[in-house]
Amino acid sequence: MGAYERAVHRMSAVALQIAAAACIACFALTCYAVAMRYFFNAPQTWIDHTVGWLVVAMVMFGAPAAHITGEHVAVDSVTEQLRGGPRRAILAFGLLCVGATALFMIWEGWAMVAFSRMTGMMTEIYPIPLWWIQVLVPFGFALVLLVTIMQLMRVARGLEAGDAAAEEEAARIKASPIE
């Protein structure tokens, strides 16, 4: 594994930990909101917005790890039947589509952030600027693009797009009692 692959794996692992922390925070905040609403008759409206932002963080930070491990949504009925050059060509085409989508989302995400900054848009919870939350979109897709580039490099070298060690780790986690 080269330096680029190791760096992408490290970034993906850190992003996955952030996604997991956001998931735990969502759970804790939701439990707190339920307790405040039903036991103390004091609803906390800010929690709904915060949990929504945390869900965005979970998706944006979890997507690179899902892409590396092959746990993302994919239609692989054709690619599993093919071997050699045709398989690599279809994998490369799919990865190029993912890369193009990531580039588009980075571009549009930065436009969204720039617009929110320019207009001074704020979240429902003052004084948090909206762009602080929106920046998660281009950042998350930038991570997906890095993973896609890594996978394209693997396919170009004749390797599988996914990483066997990452896929084994995903299988181990899925086999745990937590899953």
Where do the structural domains in the chain lie, given as residue ranges?
3-174
Q: Which of 27, 66, 68 is nearest to 50 (CA)?
A: 27
pTM score: 0.81
DSSP state of 110: H
Q: Which pLDDT score is estimated for 144?
A: 95
Q: Which pLDDT score is estimated for 11?
A: 93
Per-residue pLDDT of the chain (179 residues; tens, 9 = 90+): 789 988 998 999 999 999 999 999 999 999 999 999 999 999 998 999 899 999 999 999 999 988 888 776 666 666 677 677 787 888 888 899 999 999 999 999 999 999 999 999 998 887 899 999 999 999 999 999 999 999 998 888 877 666 666 566 655 555 555 55
Q: Which of 163, 173, 167, 168 is nearest to 6 (CA)?
A: 163
CA 131 remoteness from chain centre = 18
Q: Which pLDDT score is estimated for 77?
A: 64
Q: With contact defined as beta carbons under 8 Å apart, do 105 and 137 qualify?
A: yes
Q: How many angstroms separate the CA atoms of 28 and 46, rounded?
A: 14
Q: Which pLDDT score is estimated for 110?
A: 97
CA atoms within 13 A on the CB side of 148: 21
